[in-house]
């Protein structure tokens, strides 16, 4: 059981602070401290609001866009004006549904998908995650444990303190911009991504395990979730059937290799550009809630397929086949250029580096992860998961290359 770790700087708690809803931010709701000085907020947003991409959105003027500080000042001014108008409307209508209250002081509050919220204090350069009363203690301990584990990686933010009784954890605020990678230039994309992946993977020791054992472990976890659905009278049987049929197809593909040995390693679990913060001289990775030991190349395939999913919809099959070959080359490049010299006695042998095996395992682990982290198993969730599985099926069908030869795609 985790014990509390209290920081040297006491949190400002006592009175109740009100935060006013302003707008959606990414997939969350953004609030601002109702009684704060807007002039000081202008300063903080301009100089310390780098993670907020909307403050750097280009204008309609190419000339103005050339001067990035001016663009940022314009966007900060527009955002402050939006806050001002929202405050006027609130004081006029007194709509309490627009207010979140907290005993912790900050400048901005962001409500997360599972009810917890993050309070950003620009002055103290900290992010406080506060969990609601109905949030299970064991889940709070799990999140804190994962953030502590993430400290093994030099790219993670620093955890400052936590208090399970008070239901919070606090980490350092990173004033860095979220990344934007160009997947149309795969060489450049992987040149930027692979060093980050290396630093994550090598944050902890690897583990060798029989493929049969690991495959069965993941499969059993998925089966347990399915059984819980059936006990609850789950009605989306078509969705479950589609998922299970795909899993059975993976079982057939992996079956001939069950005696192989694979590598498990340090895996972020939600490795996409929105969780990668960068400046010219620094790179950090945030949101370690899905940290686990997984197949060694899970994060490689996660960010690859995150970008490929949207790209493939506009491609003909022959181009997808070419893309699959380029991804395989990147996989091999990752091993040869970034990982091979880090292991004694060349631990990477033919079994341990079969890209097909790791890709199949990624599909299975992805399904398990999605089932675990999405609390609302409604139709929209399964529509999303179905679309992913159908994409994986399409990718594998095209990758098999039955309709193409290398001479046809050159």
Supply the DSSP symbol for 338. I
User: Is residue 96 helix, strand or coil?
Assistant: helix
Q: Please say whether the dihedral angle defined by the alpha carbons of residues 202, 352, 194 and 386, taken in this order, is positive or negative.
A: negative
Return d(Cα 283, Cα 38) in angstroms, integer.
30
pLDDT one digit per residue (tens) for the chain, 410 residues: 566 666 545 555 668 999 999 998 766 899 999 999 999 999 999 999 999 999 999 999 999 999 999 999 999 999 999 999 999 999 999 999 999 999 999 999 999 877 899 999 999 999 999 999 989 999 999 999 999 999 999 999 999 999 999 999 999 999 999 998 888 888 999 999 999 999 999 999 989 999 999 999 999 999 998 888 777 666 666 667 888 899 999 988 887 777 788 999 999 999 999 999 999 899 999 999 999 999 999 999 999 999 888 777 777 888 889 889 999 999 999 998 888 665 544 455 555 567 899 999 999 999 999 998 876 566 778 888 989 999 999 999 998 865 555 544 45
Pull the structure tokens for residue 89: 């409307």
Question: What confidence score (pLDDT) does residue 28 get?
Answer: 82
- Domain layout of the chain by residue ranges: 13-172, 177-409
Burial of 408 (0-12, 13-18, 19+ CB in 10 A): exposed
CATH of domain 177-409: 3.90.1200.10
Contacts of 20 (CB under 8 A, 6+ apart): 31, 32, 33, 34, 83, 86, 87, 90, 98, 99
C-alpha distance from residue 276 to each of 152, 216, 285, 288 (Å): 17, 32, 5, 11
User: Is residue 159 helix, strand or coil?
Assistant: strand
Question: What confidence score (pLDDT) does residue 314 get?
Answer: 73
Return d(Cα 325, Cα 314) in angstroms, integer.
18
> Is 118:112 a contact under the CB 8 Å cutoff?
yes
- Calculate the CA 105 to chain-centre distance: 27
Question: What confidence score (pLDDT) does residue 409 get?
Answer: 47
Other residues' Cβ atoms within 10 Å of the Cβ of residue 399: 18
| Cα within 13 Å of Cα(320), Cβ side | 24
Other residues' Cβ atoms within 10 Å of the Cβ of residue 396: 18
**pTM higher than 0.85, yes or no?**
yes
């Amino acid at each position: 059981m985790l014990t509390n770790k209290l920081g040297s700087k006491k949190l400002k708690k006592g009175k109740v602070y009100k935060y006013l809803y302003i707008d959606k931010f990414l997939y969350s709701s953004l609030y601002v401290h109702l009684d704060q000085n807007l002039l000081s907020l202008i300063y903080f947003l301009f100089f310390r609001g780098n993670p907020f991409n909307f403050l750097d959105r280009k204008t309609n003027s190419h000339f103005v866009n050339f001067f990035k500080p001016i663009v940022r000042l314009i966007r900060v001014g527009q955002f402050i004006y939006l806050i001002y108008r929202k405050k006027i409307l609130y004081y006029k209508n007194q709509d309490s549904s627009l207010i979140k209250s907290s005993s912790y002081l900050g400048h901005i509050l962001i409500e997360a998908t599972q009810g917890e919220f993050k309070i950003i204090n620009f002055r103290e350069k900290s992010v406080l995650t506060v969990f609601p009363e109905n949030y299970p203690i064991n889940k709070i301990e799990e999140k804190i444990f994962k953030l502590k584990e993430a400290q093994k990686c030099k790219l993670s933010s620093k955890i400052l303190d936590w208090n399970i009784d008070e239901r919070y954890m606090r980490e350092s605020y990173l004033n860095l911009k979220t990344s934007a990678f160009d997947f149309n230039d795969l060489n450049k994309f992987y040149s930027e991504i692979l060093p980050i992946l290396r630093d994550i993977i090598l944050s902890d020791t690897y583990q060798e395990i029989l493929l049969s054992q690991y495959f069965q472990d993941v499969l059993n976890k998925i089966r347990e979730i399915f059984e819980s659905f059936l006990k609850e009278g789950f009605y989306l049987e078509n969705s479950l059937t589609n998922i299970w049929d795909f899993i059975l197809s993976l079982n057939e593909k992996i079956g001939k290799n069950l005696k192989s040995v694979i590598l498990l390693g340090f895996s972020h679990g939600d490795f996409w550009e929105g969780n990668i913060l960068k400046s010219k001289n620094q790179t950090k990775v945030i949101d370690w809630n899905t940290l686990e030991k997984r197949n060694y190349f899970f994060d490689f395939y996660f960010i690859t397929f995150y970008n490929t999913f949207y790209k493939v919809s506009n491609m003909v099959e022959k181009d997808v086949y070419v893309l699959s070959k380029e991804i395989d080359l990147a996989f091999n490049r990752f091993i040869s250029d970034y990982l091979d010299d880090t292991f004694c006695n060349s631990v990477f042998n033919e079994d341990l580096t079969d890209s097909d095996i790791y890709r199949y395992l990624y599909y299975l682990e992805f399904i398990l992860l999605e089932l675990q982290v999405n609390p609302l198993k409604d139709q929209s969730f399964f529509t999303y998961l179905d679309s992913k599985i159908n994409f994986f099926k399409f990718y594998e069908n095209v990758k098999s290359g039955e309709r193409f030869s290398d001479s046809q795609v050159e």
